[in-house]
Amino acid sequence: MTPPPPATDLTIDSTWMQEVLLELLRIPSPTGRTDVIMQHVGERLEEIGLSFELTRRGALVARLEGAQPGVPLDRAVVVHTDTIGCMVTALKDDGRLAVTQIGTHSSRFSEGTRVSIFTDDPDRTYTGTILPTKASGHAFGDEIDTHPHGWEHVEVRVDEKVHSRGDLQDLGIQVGDHVAQTAYPVITRSGFVTSRHLDDKAGVAAALAAFKAVVDSGAPLEVGAHLLITIAEEVGHGASSGLDHDVAEMVSVDSAVVAPGQHSTETGVTIAMQDLHGPFDYHLSRRLHALGRAHGLEVNRDVFRYYRSDVAAALEAGAETRAALIGFGVDATHGHERTHLDAVMATARLIALYLQTPLTFGTWDAEPKGPLERFPSSAVQPVRREPELDPESDELVENEPFPELEEELGGLHPPPPRAERGRGAAGPE
């Protein structure tokens, strides 16, 4: 098992983290309409004392400097402020609005959801409700139970006296206006957080709290870190831009899927081993898992089948970096979401621990390229070779299973004599 790197489990300011979480949840930020929330994130970064810049497209990159001046900022923690949402596709003749999704989510989880409709005029925002086009049993009888799901089968009822397309136009509503599902965040007495859009606002709150803990503690850092806050993750662009070329490791923080067949929990932090786009970095993922376990966190390993994150966007864009994904467990993702404060706290603690660690392979990862002989491989990712088969013989003839391992360890762990192997004594002690 990967040994955990040294780090101190720092105290996270739980009250501050909850305050930030509720503040972020109450600011609508569907993809494409994230300018306001970024103002608030920027104010929180100023409060922590981190310098930052905005990219041309509006993503934010903060800097957590290492202890020594000139320490490279070789790692990045990545979160996103944008959320799923809707957009007006048509102004209907009866005064209702047709909408489609921004990001990927089912209309069935928005039936009955309150929304805000944002026009181009900042002073003219309206409220409404997303309803099935057959919304009353008194009018449609059993048809309401067989009414299909899908964005073409729902509409927005605007809370204004509108009965025609013209009435909607008079309000200033146009095709292409953003419609945001109201989050309605609640923290229950038992510590559960019920809200839309915990994805990824709980991740932003956890990351900000972790960076704050590291700054407040004055913990010496061997490696500085960027905090990259992206604004178009839900539509797939994510961290495709904004990552510095010197970043050797990135850890994306996003929701972890709690559902039957998954291993994530609403009270824990998950290390994602693979998602729809393939496995995450072998070494970095296992280090994060070992780090969490060593400090008593509720840490789970999980595999996500229908899932994409900032990591995929960054790697597709050509980022030459190790990449991992960690997440707070969320039940009913992209629907009526719920997590527990314990999960957000575990995530913040793991981020704070991670920020104090050296790079996974300090000397190798420090440079973007290097020679084959310095490439860390067999000692940390051993592969047992397939046996050679002699078709003329009755027995299998096996290769030495770990020749590179012996070489890299410099004979520190010589394999036991061949005679002992049959008794299960093979491998380094």
Contact by Cβ (8 Å): 224, 53: no
Q: Which is nearer to Zn ion, 103 or 292 (CB)?
A: 103
d(CA 248, CA 224): 11
200 vs 302, which CB is nearer to Zn ion? 200
DSSP 48-110: HT-EEEE-TTS-EEEEE--SSTT----EEEEEE--B-EEEEEEE-TTS-EEEEEESS--GGGT
Nearer to Zn ion, 200 or 222 (CB): 200
Q: With the C-alpha atoms ordered 386, 323, 270, 295, is the resulting torsion angle positive or negative?
A: positive
82 near Zn ion, rule: CB under 5 A: no
CA 356 to chain centre: 20
Least distance from C-beta 47 to Zn ion, angstroms?
24
Distance CA 401, CA 418 (A): 12
Between the alpha carbon of residue 171 and those of residues 95, 156, 294, 350, the distances in Å are 11, 14, 58, 48
Give 265 or 333: the residue with its C-beta nearer to Zn ion: 333
- 199 near Zn ion, judged by CB under 5 A: yes
Quote the CA–CA distance of 384 and 381 in Å, as a whole number: 10
Q: Does 266 bind Zn ion (CB under 5 A)?
A: no
Q: Residues 102, 271, 78, 346: is their CA dihedral positive or negative? A: positive
What's the chain's length in residues? Answer: 429
Exactly one of 46, 160, 222, 233 is catalytic; which is it? 233
Instruction: Output the smallest distance, CB 204 to Zn ion, in A.
Output: 10
- Out of 177, 200, 275, 281, the residue judged to bind Zn ion by CB under 5 A: 200
Residue 310 interacts with Zn ion (CB under 5 A)? no
Angle between helix 14-25 and 35-48 (nearest 10):
160
Provide, rounded to whole angstroms, the least separation between the CB of residue 333 and Zn ion: 8
Rank residues 192 and 328 by Cβ distance to Zn ion and give the closer one: 328
Q: How far is the CB of 238 from Zn ion (least distance, A)?
A: 9
Confirm if 228 and 377 have CB atoms less than 8 A apart: no
Stretch touching Zn ion by CB under 5 A, among 84-92, 217-225, 254-262, 285-293: 254-262
Looking at the Cβ atoms of 314 and 359, the one nearer to Zn ion is 314
Q: Name which of 199 and 342 has its Cβ closer to Zn ion.
A: 199
- Span interacting with Zn ion, options 15-23, 198-206, 216-224, 374-382, rule CB under 5 A: 198-206
CB 82 → Zn ion: shortest distance, Å?
A: 8
For Zn ion, which is the closer residue by CB, 83 or 360?
83
* Span of 106-114, 193-201, 335-343, 373-381 interacting with Zn ion by CB under 5 A: 193-201
177 near Zn ion (CB under 5 A)? no
Stretch that binds Zn ion, among 70-78, 188-196, 216-224, 248-256 (CB under 5 A): 248-256
Minimum Å gap between C-beta 31 and Zn ion is 11
Number of residues that bind Zn ion (CB under 5 A): 3
Residue 392 annotated to the active site: no
Distance in Å, CB of 124 to Zn ion, minimum = 30
Per-residue mark of binding to Zn ion, 360-389 (x: CB under 5 A) = ------------------------------
How many Cα atoms occupy the beta-carbon half-sphere of 301 within 13 Å? 14
In DSSP terms, 274 is beta-bridged to 279, 303
| 337 is a site residue for Zn ion (CB under 5 A) | no
How many CA atoms lie within 13 Å of 377's alpha carbon, on the beta-carbon side?
11
* H/E element, 208: helix 198-217
CA distance 9 to 353: 6
Minimum CB separation of residue 325 from Zn ion in Å reads 10
Q: Show the tokens assigned to 50.
A: 């981190």
Which of 82, 155, 222, 254 touches Zn ion (CB under 5 A)? 254
User: Six-digit token pair at 128?
Assistant: 């409404």
Report, as residue numbers or ranges, the catalytic residues: 233
* List of residues contacting Zn ion (CB under 5 A): 199-200, 254
